[in-house]
Amino acid sequence: MTDDFATDGALAQHISGFKPREPQRQMAAAVSQAISDKQALVVEAGTGTGKTYAYLAPALRADCKVIISTGSKALQDQLFARDLPTVSKALKYKGKIALLKGRSNYLCLERLEQQSLAGGELTGHTLVDLVHLRRWASVTEEGDVSNCTDVAEDSFVWPLVTSTNDNCLGSDCPLYKECFVVKARRRAMDADVVVVNHHLFMADMVVKESGFGELIPQADVMIFDEAHQIPDIASQYFGQQLSSRQLLDLAKDITIAYRTEVRDSAQLQKSADRLTQSTQDFRLALGEPGFRGNLRDVLQQPMIQRALLLLDDALELCYDVVKLSLGRSALLDAAFERATLYRNRLKRLKEVTLPGYSYWYECNSRHFVLALTPLSVADKFSEMMADKPGTWIFTSATLSVNDQLEHFTRRIGLDKAKTLLLPSPFDYARQALLCVPRFLPSPNQPGGARQLARMLRPLIEANKGRCFFLCTSHQMVRDLAEEFRASLTLPVLVQGETSKGQLLAQFVEAGNALLVATSSFWEGVDVRGEALSCVIIDKLPFTAPDDPLLKARIEDCKLRGGDPFNEVQLPEAVITLKQGVGRLIRDTDDRGVLVICDNRLVMRPYGAVFLNSLPPTPRTRDLTQAIDFLKRSE
């Protein structure tokens, strides 16, 4: 099999610019062996290994049903549209390949129809977008919303014309035969290789547990790329959540059913209005936005208890009123099932005394989420693997801490998996420099953003922009953006001011921009060449100590006699830092400087764990040396 990766192998012969890489060959051989032995395999393959080809070639050669799950929709699209066709062509693969996303990624024709009938509530842009969508619906074959270029990805119309697991009418839908989700599933069932994402894979596992029809077909080989995300995503799906969006959608659907199908029951409108009002009131009762808090604590407050009781009453009223019209409208029948489901979830979320779970809530300016999350998914995940015998392969550039994979394997119950650590083939000693500047403000110091901006401005100007400033909080993004916009003549792009895709396009096109961003730019962003030659990180990315999920995991670790800092907090911060650092060197010709603005990296004993986990890069504490390195790179 590894002959495919030789100098004269199938890949080199058919893919221009393909160069054999020893770590890639080693990974491909390990994947091939794992498939033939039906063995679980965990591979950390450093940036530049070419891990995508290393698992694709043996998977296609295996001649069996393969599921490939990715960490993001962007990677999913790239795999399906670029990498899979390239490798398939080189290997003369004859099997069928399909792409399957979660249902909210497909236009729902029935909901589009409902919105058009009840269009009186829509105004301005949303109404214009609806007109565009009706036109697009008549020509699209897949119904994949990412292919609709006339409507912005953050348009208010999307939640109205896509379905969720909760509000889909299933086989009762009048447009079931034309349904884009059903068609996508059929293609997946018929295909030999199916590309999904982690959220869909986990949702499917949970749906199967409750006995519904499967979304994802059975397969012989399951491959997880960007596997470092799996533990956190799995914990979401093995828990329970109830959000204001779900409740407001339910109220909206009851209203639509009343206006279009069951006009003789005015109580429907009243119950929907009451649910909308009590949901909004509960959001206000939760207080300041942008905060994740402990649900156990907040449910002790009399004002919150009262607001929750009114919300529960409003849900019960919807349940009672909709029940009277069962059988008259498929939309109302589905709404009844959702009202039942949400009442049960709310009841479960109020039982805050169950051990082994973290109870938390989150709210932004308009919405809230109430959730309970299991503290460990190891048992559940290993059970799930036992129920689906076959080969399970987990790979990412960031799985190890201090050259050990134990943190990852322990979190998802992979005690018996084979493991492989492959370093990046990049020459970091020549290509990069790590700078931890002297005289840094201490983390969270008042005026820290102003000091950092002043200190780093000469470096950013010397590099003519071409810089990512990755922050650990939204507040820091705002403060730094304000400072830099006041003091720099270069373009300053800020996360949140437009979509991620547009920001990246603007960054590359400008050629001299500074991008100030937080979490979503720490990973899954690939800017090669001179467009990005400096990455600055504001501080070590430890999760905020008041995060309720972290607090609960710390308590659980203490109860088991463990060391919470070394077993929970440190490993997760190391993996996040590795992701951010990985944005800098993306190719053999890239050169650049990495600046980490946190003295703890060199002053605290645990700083060594971070440094040992990063690529082997020369280090300095002198910003002028960093500037010289960048000038030499030009």
d(CA 244, CA 488): 41
**Res. 354: pLDDT tops 90:** no
State residue 39's pLDDT score: 93
Q: Are residues 498 and 547 in the same domain?
A: yes
Can you tell me whether residue 372 is helix, strand or coil? strand
Instruction: Give 632 or 615, the one with higher predicted confidence.
Output: 615
Find where tokens 């293609």 sit: 187
d(CA 473, CA 518): 6
State residue 212's pLDDT score: 43
**Confidence tier at 2 by pLDDT (50, 70, 90):** low
**Confidence tier at 606 by pLDDT (50, 70, 90):** very high
Q: Could you tell me the CATH number of the domain that includes residue 64?
A: 3.40.50.300
**Confidence tier at 634 by pLDDT (50, 70, 90):** low
Q: What helix, strand, coil percent values describe the chain, rounded to 5?
A: 55, 15, 35
DSSP state letters, 61-88:
HT-S-EEEEESSHHHHHHIIIIIHHHHH
What average pLDDT does the segment 498-520 reach? Answer: 91
Instruction: Give 121 or 342, the one with higher predicted confidence.
Output: 342
What whole-number percentage of the chain has pLDDT above 90?
70
Q: For 592-605, what is each residue's pLDDT tens digit?
A: 999 999 999 999 99
Is residue 570 a part of any domain in this protein? yes
Q: Are residues 266 and 315 in the same domain?
A: yes
**Confidence tier at 170 by pLDDT (50, 70, 90):** confident
Is residue 368 a part of any domain in this protein? yes
Q: Are residues 452 and 543 in the same domain?
A: yes
What average pLDDT does the segment 160-166 reach? Answer: 85
Of 344, 374, 404, which closes a domain? 374
State residue 206's pLDDT score: 74
Q: Are residues 255 and 204 in the same domain?
A: no
**Whether the Cβ atoms of residue 226 and residue 579 lie closer than 8 Å to each other:** no
State residue 125's pLDDT score: 79
Is residue 86 a part of any domain in this protein? yes
Q: Please tell me the total count of domains within the chain.
A: 4
Nearest to 198 by CA among 217, 224, 174, 179: 224
Q: Are residues 392 and 447 in the same domain?
A: no
**Confidence tier at 524 by pLDDT (50, 70, 90):** confident
State residue 211's pLDDT score: 42
Q: Are residues 249 and 137 in the same domain?
A: no
- Element at 392 (helix H, strand E): strand 391-396
Angstrom CA distances, 183 to 94, 295, 401, 627, stand at 21, 40, 42, 55
Instruction: Give 512 or 524, the one with higher predicted confidence.
Output: 512
Can you tell me whether residue 352 is helix, strand or coil? coil
Q: For residue 468, how many other CB atoms are within 10 A of its CB?
A: 23
Q: Mean pLDDT lowest for which of 53-62, 200-209, 318-327, 596-605?
A: 200-209
Q: Are residues 410 and 351 in the same domain?
A: no
Whole-number mean pLDDT of the chain? 91
pTM here is 0.89
Strand ranges (E), 295-385: 357-363, 368-374
Q: Are residues 84 and 210 in the same domain?
A: yes
Q: Are residues 389 and 310 in the same domain?
A: no
Q: For 184-233, what is each residue's pLDDT tens digit?
A: 989 999 999 999 999 999 988 776 554 444 578 889 999 999 999 999 99
Is residue 198 a part of any domain in this protein? yes
Q: Are residues 66 and 144 in the same domain?
A: no
Q: Which amino acid is at 25?
A: R
Is residue 544 a part of any domain in this protein? yes
d(CA 459, CA 448): 17
Instruction: Give 261 or 27, the one with higher predicted confidence.
Output: 27
Is residue 186 a part of any domain in this protein? no
State residue 122's pLDDT score: 67
Q: Which amino acid is at 584?
A: L
Strand ranges (E), 198-307: 221-224, 240-243, 291-294
Q: Are residues 388 and 332 in the same domain?
A: no
d(CA 117, CA 48): 52
Residue 169's domain comprises 103-181
Q: For 446-483, what is each residue's pLDDT tens digit?
A: 888 999 999 999 999 999 999 999 999 989 999 999 99
Instruction: Spell out a b/e string for 280-317, using b for 16 or more CB atoms within 10 Å of the CB, else e.
Output: bebbebbeeeeebbbbbebbeeeebeebbebbbebbeb
**Res. 262: pLDDT tops 60:** yes
β-pair type (368-374, 514-517): unpaired
Bridge partners of 157? none
**Res. 344: pLDDT tops 80:** yes
What average pLDDT does the segment 314-343 reach? Answer: 94
Residues counted in the chain: 634
What whole-number percentage of the chain has pLDDT above 70?
97
**C-alpha dihedral over 510, 516, 519, 522, to 10 degrees?**
50
Side-chain-facing half-sphere of 334: CA atoms under 13 Å? 23
Instruction: Give 313 or 168, the one with higher predicted confidence.
Output: 313
Q: Mean pLDDT lowest for which of 57-66, 161-170, 389-398, 484-493?
A: 161-170
DSSP state letters, 610-633:
HHHHS----EES-HHHHHHHHHHH
Find where tokens 């409902």 sit: 114
Is residue 448 a part of any domain in this protein? yes
Query: Burial, 454: exposed, middle or buried (Cβ in 10 Å; 0-12, 13-18, 19+)?
Result: exposed
**C-alpha dihedral over 441, 444, 445, 447, to 10 degrees?**
90
d(CA 248, CA 254): 10
